[in-house]
Chains A and B, each alone.
Chain A
Amino acid sequence: MYKITKENLRALFREIAGSRELYLPVEMGGQVNFGVWDEDAKVRLDVLKTVKSPKDIFFPQAETLYTCTGSGKNIRIKPQELKDRDFVVFGMRACDVRGVKVLDQVFLSDPQDTYYAARRAHGILVSMACGRPEESCFCSTFGIDAAAPEGDVAAWMTEKDLFLKPLTEKGEQFITSVESLLTKAEDEAETVEAEQKRIREILEKLPYRNLSLDGWDGGATEEKFDSPIWETLYRPCLACGTCTFVCPTCQCYDIKDYRTAEGVQRYRCWDSCMYSDFTLMAGGNNRTTQLQRFRQRFMHKLIYFPANNQGMYSCVGCGRCVEKCPSSLNIVKVIKAFEKQGGGANV
């Protein structure tokens, strides 16, 4: 265990940024998102949730895969350079770290996504416990402990200090690289434990603390898919992509070609199952209504994904969709709607 006083955080960020890229929650135009640190950055570690998750540090919203140039039959393919420098993501929440684990299941499985894998190999995750959980949070539903976040290094913010605990070999190396700024705090484990206890007591008071996933597993595919509940549920959906774009686990993307004066850039960008051209193929689209598209999102997160990934749900309970959906629809309302049907006890 190590610690650093809050006043010295700026020095810590400067030290990290001296040799690596440093991403952390920064305020831009009144909104807090993960961004690159520089001396002028308005760091907001106090903000519980960034608008977007830190997903796009590993899986950017749009990225070029390769570029083709040339004329006639002479085409040169220029591969995109892969990330080859270490970088640090500072201040990820426990839910966001789990979000990256969900992405790992998709992008690091065979065949591995080399673009993503390079970023994961070079990224160091410094997570932070949630000192002030909010009503939209429900990470505990997915077995996530906001008081003990995973990652390479876990951190806890107390009134005066930031405590840091390396969890992996990468984390140990990170600590070593900034050790001159840190104080050893082996004898202060109790301070961190007290903070964890305080956080867990808050978690017990959250309105979604009893949200249950009973009945959401691969075995329920047909029952859920065919349910008439979707017919009412989807109707306020605007078919925008807000939920998918602020989500830490939504991983669908589209690949397109962009014609430039010199040639073609093949890029990929986040896709959204809410959009009418999602999975559109030459032969048409297998989901032609918003009901089907809406259902797809939740079936994927709560049925298909766990069925294919040893029970891991592709929702982490961060609550961003709860806060951001323009029509106030979200995964919690979906879970509750089905629970009511089954006569369960979600309140």
Chain B
Amino acid sequence: MQELIKRAKELLADGTAARVLGWRRGDLPYNPEPAFFEKEEDLDRFVYDGFCGANLSKMMIEASRLEGKTLVFLKPCDTYSFNQLLKEHRVDREKAYIIGVGCRGKLDIEKIRAQGISGITAISGAENDGPDTLKVRTIYGDRTVNYGSALLGRCHVCKGKEHKICDEQIGRSRDTKDADPYEEVRAVEAMTPEARFAFFQKELGKCIRCNACRNVCPACSCRKCVFDSTSFDSAQKANVDSFEEKMFHIIRSFHVAGRCTDCGECSRVCPQGIPLHLFNRRYIKEINELYGQFQAGEDPEATSPLTDYLAEDPEPGIIEERG
């Protein structure tokens, strides 16, 4: 982490960057917030550890409108989002100086709490080059947590630790993929239609329409969302009935289909723990099966199968034939 701070200070000092976009140490051991740092001394509160799950690429939309370059720290998975935003002309490459940061997976505080841990006052071992075991100090006694057992769900299906875009790279990564990304999707597909409907009804029924999934999503970058329209009968914030909840998430997931990089931010931020990534991952699986392997954000020059036409593309009828 000190290396990141040192490099950021250098780039601020030599005028390469006008500001730094990173994470600022929080007031609890696990709550750093995304932050812009304008001055070298502000960087004393810069942090990069296992709790820096927030994907900063979407904040580069705002940074692209500012004077000068912004030095941004991107984890390997965040670079896919940046590339996708670049492709959609939402960020300006010339306004970004990207340092790719190493990643050994990011932590989910809920998974630490789920191990019966509460009253947390200190956590050590969350550094990127830290040990395999976290030491958690709580007002109810000290505990240890295996780093791998507290990873965000998305890290178990990591796309890889290669930065798809960056100007330089600092820090080592460790592979965290130990599950098949489509296993969860196949489990849902295997359900009977009734069971599947009940499953989604139960999950989406928890939605409180906070819009956190939409607002954090790098693919949801419309200046004004259709759901924020005042001419709709259904306000963006009212969970008037379950129909509306279903509409919201299904429409949103369709809108980002083919552009979603599966960064997993939607599921990370959902206060009600809805596995929202399941929709998107289903579409990704479908796209791969129908049009061949495609990873959004991997290559900013590549054309998405959903915006491209090839004579051999399957006809829509394939869905009915295939069942």
Most chain A Cβ neighbours within 10 Å, of B238, B239, B269 = B238
Most chain A Cβ neighbours within 10 Å, of B33, B54, B202, B209 = B33
Closest to A52 in B: B208
Write out, one digit per residue, whether chain A residues 220-256 have a CB within 8 A of any chain B CB (1) or not (0): 0000000000001001101111101110000000101
Q: List the B side residues contacting A188 at CB < 8 Å.
A: none
Q: List the B side residues contacting A244 at CB < 8 Å.
A: 210
A277 in contact with B228 (CB, 8 Å): yes
Closest to B26 in A: A328
B31: interface (CB < 8 Å): yes
Known: A135-B28, A207-B121, A254-B237. A245 touches B36 (CB 8 A): no
Chief secondary structure at chain B's binding surface: loop
A72: interface (CB < 8 Å): no
Which one, A7-15, A26-34, A119-127, A305-313, is touching chain B? Answer: A26-34
B238 in contact with A61 (CB, 8 Å): yes
B272 in contact with A51 (CB, 8 Å): yes
Write out, one digit per residue, whether chain A residues 29-44 have a CB within 8 A of any chain B CB (1) or not (0): 1110100000000000
A322 in contact with B234 (CB, 8 Å): no
Bound-complex Cα distance A333 to B32 (A): 11
- Distance of A103 from chain B, by nearest CB (Å): 18
Write out, one digit per residue, whether chain A residues 265-279 have a CB within 8 A of any chain B CB (1) or not (0): 001011110011100
Contact-residue bracket for chain B:
35 or more
B210 in contact with A242 (CB, 8 Å): yes
Bound-complex Cα distance A275 to B210 (A): 10
Bound-complex Cα distance A291 to B237 (A): 20
B33 in contact with A241 (CB, 8 Å): no
B34: interface (CB < 8 Å): yes
Bound-complex Cα distance A258 to B239 (A): 12
Closest to A320 in B: B271
Bound-complex Cα distance A177 to B118 (A): 36
Closest to B265 in A: A326
A135 in contact with B239 (CB, 8 Å): no
Q: List the B side residues contacting A80 at CB < 8 Å.
A: none
Q: List the B side residues contacting A52 at CB < 8 Å.
A: 208
B212 in contact with A31 (CB, 8 Å): no
B238 in contact with A256 (CB, 8 Å): yes
A62: interface (CB < 8 Å): yes
Q: Which of B69-119 contact A (CB under 8 A)?
A: 118-119
Q: Which of A293-344 contact B (CB under 8 A)?
A: 322, 324, 326-329, 332-333, 336
Known: A134-B119, A256-B235, A269-B240. A276 touches B228 (CB 8 A): yes
Write out, one digit per residue, whether chain A residues 132-166 have a CB within 8 A of any chain B CB (1) or not (0): 11111000000000000000000000000000000
Interface contacts (Cβ under 8 Å), in number, total: 145
Write out, one digit per residue, whether chain B residues 206-217 have a CB within 8 A of any chain A CB (1) or not (0): 101111101110
Write out, one digit per residue, whether chain B residues 194-230 have a CB within 8 A of any chain A CB (1) or not (0): 0000000011011011111011100000001000101
Closest to B199 in A: A29
B269 in contact with A326 (CB, 8 Å): yes
- Distance of A263 from chain B, by nearest CB (Å): 12
B140: interface (CB < 8 Å): yes
B237 in contact with A332 (CB, 8 Å): no
Bound-complex Cα distance A59 to B160 (A): 46
- Distance of B66 from chain A, by nearest CB (Å): 12
Q: List the A side residues contacting B138 at CB < 8 Å.
A: 135
A326 in contact with B216 (CB, 8 Å): yes
Q: Which of A30, A205, A326 contacts B212 (CB 8 A)?
A: A326
A62 in contact with B119 (CB, 8 Å): no
Q: List the B side residues contacting A327 at CB < 8 Å.
A: 33-34, 54
Closest to A333 in B: B27
Known: A29-B203, A61-B208, A245-B210. A132 touches B118 (CB 8 A): yes
Known: A48-B118, A277-B228. A246 touches B28 (CB 8 A): no
- Distance of B177 from chain A, by nearest CB (Å): 24
Known: A61-B238, A135-B139, A202-B139. A240 touches B215 (CB 8 A): yes
Q: List the B side residues contacting A62 at CB < 8 Å.
A: 238-240
B233: interface (CB < 8 Å): yes
Q: Which of B15-33 contact A (CB under 8 A)?
A: 26-28, 31-33
Bound-complex Cα distance A239 to B268 (A): 16
Q: List the A side residues contacting B119 at CB < 8 Å.
A: 132-135, 202, 205-206
- Distance of B240 from chain A, by nearest CB (Å): 5
B295: interface (CB < 8 Å): no
Known: A51-B272, A236-B35, A275-B237. A136 touches B28 (CB 8 A): yes
A29 in contact with B273 (CB, 8 Å): yes
Bound-complex Cα distance A333 to B269 (A): 19
Bound-complex Cα distance A29 to B27 (A): 30
Q: Which of B120, B216, B273 contacts A31 (CB 8 A)?
A: B273
A280: interface (CB < 8 Å): yes
Most chain B Cβ neighbours within 10 Å, of A62, A246, A332 = A62
B236: interface (CB < 8 Å): yes
8 examples of A-B residue contacts, CB within 8 angstroms: A132-B140, A134-B118, A136-B28, A235-B35, A238-B269, A245-B210, A276-B224, A322-B28
Question: B: which residues have CB within 8 A of A?
Answer: 26-28, 31-36, 54, 118-121, 138-140, 202-203, 205-206, 208-212, 214-216, 224, 228, 230, 233-240, 268-269, 271-274
A135-B139, A240-B214 known; 18 other A-B pairs, CB under 8 Å?
A: A132-B118, A133-B119, A135-B118, A135-B119, A136-B28, A232-B35, A236-B33, A239-B215, A241-B209, A241-B210, A241-B237, A245-B208, A245-B210, A254-B238, A269-B235, A270-B238, A324-B271, A328-B54
